Amino acid sequence: MINQTTILLLFSCIINVLFLIGLALFIAKKGGLSYLFKIFLNIGKKNKSNNFNYPPYYWHKKSQFEKLPKSELDIIMLGDSITDEGEWTELLGLNVKNRGISGDTTQRILHRLDTVLESNPKQIFLMIGINDLMNDGKSVTATLEQYKKILCELKEKTPNTKVFVQSVLPVNNKIYLCWQDNNNVLKLNFGLKNLTKEFNYEYIDIFYLLLDSENQLDAQYTVDGLHLNGEAYLVWKAVLEKYVVAPEA
C-alpha cells in the first residue's frame, strides 16, 4: 500500500519533471544553445541599459575621445568593435578618426554622441546595431527606434555634417555557434535604408559584399564568424574611398 510519504515524493518528482520540460521549452524558444551561451557570457555583468554599468573599456575610450583634439575637418568612423578594430588612418590614407568602441550598442552610442559631435565634423560613417540584436536581445523595431534617436541628434546638433549610414554586416553561424539570424540583420538594414532616406543621409551597403553562397559572412573574411580580418577591411575600404573627402589644405 502506498503511504503518504511515497505519494508526496511522487508528486514532487512530477512537478520537477514538468518544471524541467517547461524550462527546456523556454530555452528552445529563446534560441537554444546560443541563448545559454549568451547568458554564460553575461554572468556577473549588470544590466547594460544602466549607463553606469558599461564596462571599463567603454569609459576609458570615451574619456580618451573627450581629451583628443577635435576639428571641423574630422572624418569620424563611429561604431562598435567592427569599427574599433579597423586601422582607418592607414586603410584610407587620411587623418580619419576611429571612434568605435567594442561592444557598443545604439544606446551606448547615444550616451557618448555629444563628444563626437562637439567639433561639427565634416563626415561621419556610422555602423551600429548588431550588439543590440545579439547581446541586448532587442527586436529589430526597438533597435531602429534607438537608431532614429541617433540620427535625430545628428541632424539637430551638426546639420552640416555629411552622415553615411552603413549597413550592419552579416555573421557566419557555422563557424561559432549562432551569433544572430542574418534574416534579422537584413530586416534591420531594410529599416536603416528607409531611415536614411527620411533624414536625407546616404546609405552604404557593405552587407552583400561580404556574403558567401549560403548568405553567411564569408569564411575568408573572418575567424570567429563575427569580426573581420584584413581582407574584409580591404573590401570595406574600397567602398569608403568613393565617399571619403580629403582634408582641405
What are 47-66's pLDDT values in tens digits? 444 445 887 878 887 887 88
- Tell me, what's the pLDDT at 28? 56
Query: Could you tell me the pLDDT band of residue 247, with boundaries at 50, 70 and 90?
Result: low
Q: Mean pLDDT across the chain, nearest whole number?
A: 85
Read off the pLDDT of residues 3-35 as tens digits, 9 standing for 90 and up: 667 766 776 777 776 677 766 656 655 555 555
Residue 71 phi/psi, 5-degree rounding, is -150, 150
C-alpha cell at 69: 583634439
Helix H or strand E segment including 135: none
- Rg of the Cα atoms in the chain: 22
How far apart CA 83 and CA 76 sit, in angstroms, is 10
Query: Could you tell me the pLDDT band of residue 76, with boundaries at 50, 70 and 90?
Result: very high
Of all residues in the chain, the percent with pLDDT exceeding 90 is: 62
Query: Could you tell me the pLDDT band of residue 125, with boundaries at 50, 70 and 90?
Result: very high
Q: Which residue has the higher pLDDT, 38 or 26?
A: 26
Strands (E), 29-138: 75-79, 96-100, 123-127
**Cβ neighbours around 199 below 10 Å, total:** 14
Mean pLDDT lowest among 20-29, 65-74, 205-214: 20-29
Q: Which residue has the higher pLDDT, 38 or 97?
A: 97
Evaluate whether the domain defined by 51-240 bears CATH number 3.40.50.720: no
DSSP assignments along 219-246, one per residue? GGG-SSSSS--HHHHHHHHHHHTTTPPP
CB 178 within 8 A of CB 184: no
- Tell me, what's the pLDDT at 64? 78
Helix H or strand E segment including 164: strand 162-166
CB 150 within 8 A of CB 106: yes
pLDDT at 155 over 50: yes
Mean pLDDT lowest among 13-22, 62-71, 127-136, 207-216: 13-22
How far apart CA 130 and CA 210 sit, in angstroms, is 15
**Closest to 60 (Cα-Cα) out of 112, 20, 16:** 112
Query: Could you tell me the pLDDT band of residue 190, with boundaries at 50, 70 and 90?
Result: very high
- Tell me, what's the pLDDT at 244? 92
Query: Could you tell me the pLDDT band of residue 45, with boundaries at 50, 70 and 90?
Result: very low
- Tell me, what's the pLDDT at 44? 46
CB 151 within 8 A of CB 163: yes
- Tell me, what's the pLDDT at 21? 73
pLDDT at 83 over 80: yes
- Tell me, what's the pLDDT at 73? 79
- Tell me, what's the pLDDT at 144? 98
Q: Which residue has the cell 581582407?
A: 231
What are the start-end ranges of the H helices in 95-202?
Answer: 106-117, 130-134, 140-157, 182-198
Residue 166 phi/psi, 5-degree rounding, is -95, 140
CB 210 within 8 A of CB 218: yes
